[in-house]
Amino acid sequence: MTADPSLAAAASIFDESLAALRATIEGASAEVLNRRPAGDDTNSIAVLSMHAMSSARWWLCVALGAALPDRDRDSEFRYEAADAGELLGFVDAVGGDCRALLATDDAFDAGAVRRSRRIGGDEDVSAAWALIHALEHLGGHVAHAQLARQVLEPSQG
């Protein structure tokens, strides 16, 4: 566990989102995981999970000044899960990476300026912004996945 209270709080919020995402995926069929609930312009639970976790890891790396992972953002939106076990395996693996980043003993410099790639080009953001963005972006997409599951399987909501 980290000694920094900001990172400890972030880890707690991250764990809540991760638990909610896991609960949304567990027991779902491949058809439910991969179905786009309102047509081609919407994202499936599998896509939301892949993108949310990949993005969370990316932004936590930015926040903490860690090496950025390889990432193909566009492919995240084409992902289809073979089954819930495969998707949970990915979520757990990336979740472990995120927890390890947050468990650092290094001091968190919230004001540090970090260079990051975003849609539209590179920009500078504070470490605090990147940390908060990682959590709010993850939480938003977890809520989207929960809603998709409720729409696709009303008895699960």
Secondary-structure breakdown of the chain: helix, strand, coil percentages, each rounded to the nearest 5: 60, 10, 30
Residue ranges in the chain modelled with pLDDT below 50: none
2 touches 106 (CB < 8 A): no
Q: What is the pTM of this model?
A: 0.93
Q: What pLDDT score was predicted for residue 157?
A: 52
Structure tokens at 102: 């947050």
Instruction: Provide the sign of the torsion angle of the four alpha carbons 39, 44, 48, 54, taken in this order.
Output: negative
Q: How many C-beta atoms surround the C-beta of residue 61 within 10 A?
A: 21
**Which backbone phi and psi does 125 adopt, to 5 degrees?**
-135, 155
Domain spanning 5-156: CATH 1.20.120.450: yes
100-128 confidence digits (pLDDT tens)? 999 999 889 999 999 887 666 788 999 99
63 touches 131 (CB < 8 A): yes
Q: Where are the domains of the chain?
A: 5-156
Q: What pLDDT score was predicted for residue 117?
A: 74
